[in-house]
Amino acid sequence: MLRRLLQTMAFETKILKVDPKSILFSETAHIDGSLPTITDPETEQNLLEAARTIRDTDDTVGFPTETVYGLGGSSLNDKSVLNIYKAKNRPSDNPLISHISSIDQLNRKIYGQESCSDILQNIPQIYRSLTEKLWPGPLTILLPVPQQSTLSKLTTADQPTFAVRIPSNPIARALIALSDTPIAAPSANQSTRPSPTLASHVFHDLKGRIPLILDGGACSVGVESTVVDGLVSPPLLLRPGGFTWEQIRSMGGPQWVDCKVENKKTVSEGEKVRTPGMKYRHYSPQAKVILFAPQEGSAPLEKRLENVKSVITDHARDVRGFAVLSSLTFPDNLLDDPHGIYRCLGSSNTEIQANLFAYLRQVDEMPNIDIIFVEGIDEEGEGLAVMNRLRKAASNNVVSF
C-alpha cells in the first residue's frame, strides 16, 4: 500500500513560467511545420526542457492550451500514455486526443510518410473546410487509424479511429513542434474533477504525480475542444466545445449543415458508445451541484426568481454553507443569507464559458461549502457546451426555472 502510494507520489512537481507572447509562428507553420521564433530566453529554455521530457522520457507534462490545461505524453509511446492514465486515475477505455503542431507532422509522425505529393492527403475532403477555417483552434476531428499506425494502441483505446487537433495556444504549439512528437493529452485534472484552466488547478490535482507543469496563465476558451465525426453520414458533433454547433454547421460546407448533436448523456457500463468519455462521472466538485436550467416561455422573471429562492432556501437549511454562481438573470442580491457566498460567472456566454471551471473550483475549495447552486443558460451558441458541462457536474440535480 505504502509502496504504491510512494510510486504515485514520486515527483517533486516543478512549475515553470512561459510567456505565450514571446512565441511567434509564421502564417503557414500549422501546415508546413516551420518552427517558431521564441524571443524570451527563459520561455525557450523551459519549453525545451518540457519538449525533452515528452520526446526522450516516459514522463508527462502539464501544459496550457487555449481550451483547458492538458496532461501530455507521447502519443506514440505506450509507457507515456500509461503514465497519463495513471496520474489522472483515468479509465483506460477512454481514448485520448493526439495534439499535433502541423499537417506536416501528422503525415510524418502518425502516417510515417516523409514526403507527400499532396500535403493534405490524409485529411478527408469532408473535413477540409473546417480544418482550413478552424485550425489551429479548439476543433478535434476523428480520422481512421492508419494500417501501419505509429500511434500507441493505448492512445486510441483500440478504437478504429483516432482523435486529433492542432491547438492555437502558442505554448502548446511550440511544445509539440519542439518535441516533434504528437502529444496525447486529456485535461490535466484528476478524473471526475472540473477541468483545469490555470496552472494552479493542475498543481492542486496532480502535485507529486507528474514532474513538470508549464505555467502560461489562464486558458482563454475555458471548455474543451469540439469533437466532430465526419466519417459517418450525417456527420456528428460528439462533444460540444470551444467552437459552437452553429459555427460547425455554417463553416463546414454543405454536408455539415445536417450535422447532428450526439445527445446521449450517460450510458450503462459496457455499452458501446461513440465518445467513450461520456459514460463517466465528469466535472464534479466535492460539493453537491444543483443546476437551474432556464425554461422557454414560462412565467415572468420575477416569479421564476421567487421559485429559485425558495429552492435554495429549502436546501440551504440543512447545510453548513452554500455558494450561488449566477450568470445572466439572477440579481447580486438574490438572497439575504449570510451562509451563502455569491459569484457572477459573467455577463456574456463567452465570459461564462471562460470562468465556469475556475469558479466551480474556487467555491469548492472554500471551507464549509456543501452545495453549489448554478444559474444555467440557454443551450444556444456557447450555451450548449456550458450546459453540457454543468449537467454532468450536477449529475442530474437539475431544476427548471
Q: Which residues bind ligand TXA (CB under 6 A)?
A: 65, 67-68, 70, 94-97, 138, 140, 142, 156, 159, 161-163, 185-187, 224-225, 227, 238-239, 274-277
DSSP state of 290: E
Nearer to Mg ion, 95 or 235 (CB): 95
CB of 75 to ligand TXA, least distance (A): 11
Q: Is 266 annotated as a binding residue?
A: no
Rounded alpha-carbon distances, angstroms, from residue 182 to 7, 38, 61, 304, 382? 27, 21, 13, 50, 28
Nearer to ligand TXA, 67 or 179 (CB): 67
CA 287, chain centre distance (Å)? 21
Q: Is 185 annotated as a binding residue?
A: yes
Residue number closest to Mg ion, CB atom: 187
Please give the order of strands across the beta sheet that includes 236-239.
14-17, 212-215, 61-64, 69-74, 183-184, 97-99, 161-165, 139-144, 226-229, 236-239, 260-261
Question: If we measure between CA atoms, which residue out of 42, 62, 65 comes closest to residue 50?
Answer: 62
Beta strands in 76-211 (DSSP E): 97-99, 139-144, 161-165, 183-184
The DSSP result for 218-285, as a single string, is: --SS-SPPEEEE-SSSS-EEEE--SS-HHHHHHHS-GGGGGPEEP------TT---SSGGGGS--S--
The residues facing 400 across adjacent strands are 293
The residues facing 229 across adjacent strands are 236
Q: Is 69 annotated as a binding residue?
A: no
Nearer to Mg ion, 88 or 109 (CB): 88
- Are the CB atoms for 389 and 289 separated by under 8 Å? no
CB of 105 to ligand TXA, least distance (A): 16
What's the rounded Cα separation, in Å, for the pair 34 and 28? 8
CB of 233 to ligand TXA, least distance (A): 16
- Are the CB atoms for 54 and 74 separated by under 8 Å? yes
CB of 46 to Mg ion, least distance (A): 25
What's the rounded Cα separation, in Å, for the pair 290 and 399? 7
Binding partner selected for residue 95 from ligand TXA, Mg ion, none, CB under the kind-specific 5 to 8 Å limit: ligand TXA
Binding partner selected for residue 168 from ligand TXA, Mg ion, none, CB under the kind-specific 5 to 8 Å limit: none
Q: Is 65 annotated as a binding residue?
A: no
Binding partner selected for residue 163 from Mg ion, ligand TXA, none, CB under the kind-specific 5 to 8 Å limit: ligand TXA
CB of 159 to ligand TXA, least distance (A): 4
Q: Is 368 annotated as a binding residue?
A: no
Cell numbers at 301, concatenated: 422573471
Which residue has cell 502519443? 75
Nearer to Mg ion, 187 or 326 (CB): 187
CB of 220 to ligand TXA, least distance (A): 12
Nearer to Mg ion, 74 or 187 (CB): 187
Q: Is 283 annotated as a binding residue?
A: yes
Nearer to ligand TXA, 47 or 323 (CB): 47
Binding partner selected for residue 162 from Mg ion, ligand TXA, none, CB under the kind-specific 5 to 8 Å limit: ligand TXA
CB of 187 to Mg ion, least distance (A): 3
Q: Is 274 annotated as a binding residue?
A: no
Residue number closest to ligand TXA, CB atom: 277
What's the rounded Cα separation, in Å, for the pair 329 and 375? 8
Nearer to ligand TXA, 33 or 138 (CB): 138
Binding partner selected for residue 94 from Mg ion, ligand TXA, none, CB under the kind-specific 5 to 8 Å limit: ligand TXA
Q: End-to-end CA distance of the chain, in Å?
A: 48
Q: Is 320 annotated as a binding residue?
A: no
Question: What is the b/e burial string over 24-42, where b = at least 16 CB atoms within 10 angstroms of the residue's CB?
Answer: ebeeebbbebbebebebee
Q: Is 161 annotated as a binding residue?
A: yes
Nearer to ligand TXA, 65 or 75 (CB): 65
Q: Is 94 annotated as a binding residue?
A: yes
Q: Summarize as ranges the residues that interact with Mg ion (CB under 5 A).
A: 187
Binding-site residues for ATP sit at 90, 94, 161, 187, 195, 239, 283
